[in-house]
Amino acid sequence: MTIKLFGGPKTRASMPLWYMEEKQIPYELLELDLRANKHRQPDFLAINPFGKLPVLVDSGVLTPGGELLTLFESGAILLHLAERYTDDISTAAEKALTNQWLLFANSTLSIALFVPTSRERDFPRLMAVLDQQLDPDRPLVGHCWGAADCAVQAHLAYLPLFYPEMDLSAYPVIQEVIRRTHARPAYRQVMGLG
Amino acid sequence: MTIKLFGGPKTRASMPLWYMEEKQIPYELLELDLRANKHRQPDFLAINPFGKLPVLVDSGVLTPGGELLTLFESGAILLHLAERYTDDISTAAEKALTNQWLLFANSTLSIALFVPTSRERDFPRLMAVLDQQLDPDRPLVGHCWGAADCAVQAHLAYLPLFYPEMDLSAYPVIQEVIRRTHARPAYRQVMGLG
């Protein structure tokens, strides 16, 4: 198999997994038992010294040093998969805007959602703007559901799972996006939602 | 001027500014007065609805809809500049690894540095690994100082400015990287370090 993905439950591995399922990109999943601290053992630290998941190994791409491309950071993995294994990105603008949304999801949105001080301070405004920017019937970039949608929707879809008491009624579009995300078969499969 | 950058003091605009100065990419800087709340006025919100800086407008690149490429998220801006206005990135592996370090800097490292709970919990291990990964004499990706170095070094170089009391003696390589960053003329100019 060309693509190996090191992942584990409750890591951002769910994003590239979901993306590869949607795009029917073949891959091999190598699940690490985080409770047994497998991500801190020497064999995995040789692959990612930071001990973080996910990590993608793409044997179809060599580094200038002749090694297999080994990539951490889920956003970088998504952009690589989109560019190399799909036809989703065809212009410089689509590439740049896809990357913008990947960084927005993994940095700006992630901090606003999951860092308590930011959640109080920045979350409401960010969500209000996002509610106006999103359209459940249109992808964020290009002509089909893609990496940008995957990253943003994956973060939003965590909200009812992580914070079931959170009131999202002020954000009707985001609610609809979450509802549709939770209904996608590939998402349900990857998230183990039966 | 093809490139316009909307920025302001103490925003991540310093990263693309530093990068463009190092790479001698011509640009026009439009500084917004954040204290006067200019980033929350309708004319800027029409450019970036989230009201965040930096924003790059590249009149050399049109979106599929025929509009000028307008990009937020400093990491996405850096990758776009590197790909379009330099020869730094020549292979799929270099591109993917550059993006990995951009996401690492703006997401993982940024959270570990600037979010108090993470700074206590994740910061020491992240810094210890980074100290082993960095080499002051070699770029992170490719053959010359590039976007990946810019993003990681910019974040590290903030440390003594934001936390002058922080003891970095356990991280000698990082200390050297910070020292060399603070000595670069383009960095000093952009940061207003006299």
Digit-coded pLDDT (tens) for B20-71: 999 999 999 999 999 999 999 999 999 999 999 999 999 999 998 899 999 9
* Averaged pLDDT for residues A91-99: 97
In the structure, what pLDDT confidence band is assigned to residue A121 with cuts at 50, 70 and 90? Answer: confident
Nearest to A150 by CA among A142, A139, A159: A139
- Mean pLDDT, residues B114-124 taken together: 79
Rounded-to-integer distance, Cα A41 and Cα B97, Å? 23
ipTM metric:
0.95
Strand pairing partners for B11? none
Which of B49, B84, B100 shows the shortest C-beta gap to A133? B49
Q: 3-state DSSP call for residue B117?
A: helix
Q: What would be the CATH architecture of the domain defined by A92-191?
A: Up-down Bundle (1.20)
CA distance B1 to chain A (A): 18
DSSP of B5-59, one letter per residue? Answer: EEE-TTSTTHHHHHHHHHHT---EEEE--TTTTGGGSHHHHTT-TT--S-EEEEE
Nearest residue of A to residue B110, measured between CA atoms: A107
Three-state DSSP class for A69?
A: strand
- Residues of B with CB below 8 A from A100's CB? 71-73, 76
pLDDT of residue A64: 84
**Overall fold of domain B3-85:** Glutaredoxin (3.40.30)
Q: What is the pLDDT of residue A114?
A: 78
What does the domain layout of chain B look like in residue ranges? 3-85, 92-185
Asked if A117's CB is within 8 angstroms of B115's CB, the reply is yes
Mean pLDDT of the B103-132 span: 88
Task: Tell me the pLDDT of chain B averaged across its residues.
Answer: 94
- Nearest C-alpha in B relative to A108: B107
pLDDT tens, residue by residue, A27-71: 999 999 999 999 999 999 999 999 999 999 999 999 988 999 999
Sorted by sequence, the CB contacts under 8 Å of residue A117 that are 6+ apart come out as B115, B116
B52, B79, B132 ranked by CB distance to A49: nearest: B132
Residue B87, burial from CB neighbour count under 10 angstroms (0-12, 13-18, 19+): exposed
| pLDDT over threshold 80, residue A88 | yes
Helix (H, G, I), strand (E, B) or coil at B121: helix
Residues of B within 8 A of A86 (CB-CB) are none
- Mutate one of A99, A111, A144 to test the B interface: name it (highest B CB count within 10 A): A99
Is B92 in Cβ contact with A49 (below 8 Å)?
no
Q: What is the pLDDT of residue B70?
A: 97
User: CATH code for B92-185?
Assistant: 1.20.1050.10
* pLDDT value at residue B119: 74
Interface mutation target, options A73, A77, A90, chain B, most CBs of B under 10 Å: A73
